[in-house]
Amino acid sequence: MVAAASGGPARVVVLGANGQLGRALRARWAERDDVAWLGRDQADLERPESLGSIDWTGCEAIVNAAAYTAVDAAETPEGRIAAWQVNAVAPAALARIAADQGIGLVHVSSDYVFDGTRPEHREDEPFSPLSVYGQSKAAGDIAVATAPRHWIVRTSWVVGEGRNFVATMASLAERGIDPTVVGDQVGRLTFAAELARAIDHLLAVDAPAGTYNVSNAGEPRSWAEIAQRVFERTGHDPARVTPVTTAAYFAGKDGIAPRPEQSAMDLSRLRATGFEPEDHEAALDAYVDALSAGGPPQDAAAVR
């Protein structure tokens, strides 16, 4: 069995426990003692065969929050193999385990399975990935859908703890650095806490198996508009952010995977389960305020 904090068998096993979503789930389920939290050291999805040697006795649901998320590195020969192992082969192994042992499987997908040419992605839109990462995620979705009790949670633009776009913009604003930011990719932010709340909800209401788009709600915005809002909220001049096209931003840079221009997703299927997502700009303001309260963020990671 996989042991939970209680010492007994875990009813829920979370894989990828140390990522943005994993940490948000930990915060959400901090009071629960029936969850096991497995990081890469305990369950390495690059070695999918190892998942079959785990004793899943007592497990009612697996939440797969692990993924190979390095979108550009996935275009390299080594990255390609790792991305496929983690994002496609391992989810297929999990689907087999879930099907054989009657376990529910929550798996997280990406808007990058689409090319971003439609105004709002619906769950049943045909796959049209632009990148190796997107291809590997689409293959994972196809595999996971073979498990009878599966919930594919398709999300976009995740912002959680640590290194992320919003923290980077807040840091640049504070340090007097004026960024150029992509202005022709449009979407909605998904705060990791909101994603965790939605997963908790889908399990709690035992939502029908299938795919659910999950993001925060509200008017879709470009990365540049989001950056400008971060500047404004932190008391800096938003005009310091210069919007550029994706083509201009990546001009002369090698090894950049194509990104969808349009990432916003239709949320009606999620809403039909009784879940109302919070507006992403209101959530952004609250997130930035929390960052400010904790002092200026240290991390100045590259803009996505």
Ligand X SMILES: NC(=O)C1=CN([C@@H]2O[C@H](COP(=O)(O)OP(=O)(O)OC[C@H]3O[C@@H](n4cnc5c(N)ncnc54)[C@H](O)[C@@H]3O)[C@@H](O)[C@H]2O)C=CC1
Is residue 135 a contact residue for ligand X (CB under 6 A)? no
Nearer to ligand X, 40 or 240 (CB): 40
| Residues numbered 109-128 forming contacts with ligand X, rule: CB under 6 A | 110
Q: How far is Cα 286 from Cα 219, in angstroms, rounded to an integer?
A: 17
CB of 297 to ligand X, least distance (A): 16
Stretch that binds ligand X, among 11-19, 230-238, 249-257, 279-287 (CB under 6 A): 11-19
Residue of 133, 212, 249, 287 marked catalytic? 133
Size of site (CB under 6 A) for ligand X? 24
Give the three-class secondary structure for 233.
Answer: helix
Q: How far is Cα 7 from Cα 207, in angstroms, rounded to an integer?
A: 29
Is residue 21 a contact residue for ligand X (CB under 6 A)? yes
Determine how β-strand 61-64 pairs with β-strand 104-110.
Answer: parallel
Nearer to ligand X, 65 or 236 (CB): 65
Find out whether 227 and 181 touch, Cβ atoms under 8 Å: yes
Q: Is 249 a catalytic residue?
A: no
Tell me the H-state helices in 205-255.
Answer: 223-233, 246-250
- Other CB atoms within 10 Å distance of the CB of residue 248: 13
Strands (E) across the chain are located at: 12-15, 35-38, 61-64, 104-110, 150-155, 158-159, 180-182, 186-187, 190-191, 210-213, 221-222, 242-244
CB of 82 to ligand X, least distance (A): 7
Answer for which of 35, 45, 152, 214 binds ligand X (CB under 6 A) is 45
Answer for which of 18, 180, 246, 292 binds ligand X (CB under 6 A) is 18
Which residues does the annotation mark as catalytic?
133
Give me the residues that bind ligand X (CB under 6 A), please. Answer: 16, 18-22, 40, 43-46, 65-69, 86, 108, 110, 137, 155-158
